[in-house]
Amino acid sequence: MTNHKILLVDDDPNVLEMLLSIFRRAGYTNLQTAASGAEALRIWQKEQPSLIVLDVMMPEMDGFSVLKEIRRTSRIPVLMLTARGEAEDRIEGLEIGADDYLAKPFLPKELLLRVGAILGRAYPNQNEVVQLAGATVDMANAEVLKNGEKQTLTAKEMQLFEKLYRNAGRIVTTGVLCETICGEFWQGYESTLSTHIRHLRKKIEENPSKPVSLVTVKGLGYRLNLKEVSP
């Protein structure tokens, strides 16, 4: 259950209906819809949502124009949806200031994952606690609670953990993780990454030599497995 207010904008009522269904099922309760660019701007000004899912191709006022208008005064997170799937569109969208970009058709999981990642970055949850098999991580304080013992994560470990957490259940490649801690020119930092991962495992794994939460995917990278919550 999340209280973030999401504004969904698409001129196709079927798509809007489906988006509503996806977000509702994922636990989002505060949802608004708009069927045109002008309506989206009106609702945005009135309701001040936490995030906008914005379709690019709409009659009269397209998504890019809406985003430009919004970006004149606001940094509200925006995820663009497009039916064109052109790389140029994506570049244009990101240049104008979109936070992410998703081409239609998309899997609901992918949309939710991206929306979750944007929200997590834009509104760090003060009480966000990540449940792992052998520990819990307090994201706001960068603290790990394992066997009743508290340990603090270093800045680099926290950066790594956050990247893995935002992509939980998915493989994050060595290059992407190195880039997260070292920036664009990350080549040659693979051993540094291994060191940070080893330290992180010591803090979050019950048995660091046999990791179950932060697992290595041979040759590719790492994956963070969250604790499975029984329904």
Min. distance of Cβ 184 from another protein in angstroms? 11
Amino acid, single-letter form, for residue 207? N
Give the Cα separation of 196 and 205 in Å (integer): 14
219 sits near another protein (criterion: CB under 8 A):
yes
Six-digit token string for 143:
């603290």
213 sits near another protein (criterion: CB under 8 A):
no
**Binding residue for another protein (CB under 8 A) from 6, 22, 66, 132?**
22
128 sits near another protein (criterion: CB under 8 A):
no
Stretch that binds another protein, among 15-23, 39-47, 132-140, 157-165 (CB under 8 A): 15-23
The site map against another protein for 186-205 (x = CB under 8 A) is: -xx-x---------------
Query: Which residues share a beta bridge with 224?
Result: 214
Q: Which residues of 69-87 are buried (b: 16+ CB within 10 A; e: fewer)?
A: bbeeeeebbbbbbbeeeee
CA triple 216-219-225, angle to 5 deg: 25
108 sits near another protein (criterion: CB under 8 A):
yes
Six-digit token string for 126:
């003060």
61 sits near another protein (criterion: CB under 8 A):
no
In the block, tokens 């449940």 appear at 131
106 sits near another protein (criterion: CB under 8 A):
yes
92 sits near another protein (criterion: CB under 8 A):
no
Six-digit token string for 121:
């970055």
Min. distance of Cβ 84 from another protein in angstroms? 6
Torsion from C-alpha of 162, 82, 93, 6, nearest 10 degrees = -50
**Binding residue for another protein (CB under 8 A) from 29, 47, 87, 121?**
87
Min. distance of Cβ 8 from another protein in angstroms? 12
**Binding residue for another protein (CB under 8 A) from 42, 68, 109, 121?**
109
Min. distance of Cβ 88 from another protein in angstroms? 8
5 sits near another protein (criterion: CB under 8 A):
no
Spell out the residues 6+ positions from residue 126 whose beta carbon is closer than 8 angstroms to its own.
140
Give the Cα separation of 2 and 220 in Å (integer): 33
Min. distance of Cβ 209 from another protein in angstroms? 22
Do 204 and 134 contact (CB within 8 A), yes or no?
yes
Residue ranges in contact with another protein by CB under 8 A: 12, 14-15, 18-19, 21-22, 25, 57, 83-85, 87, 103-109, 170-176, 187-188, 190, 217-221, 231
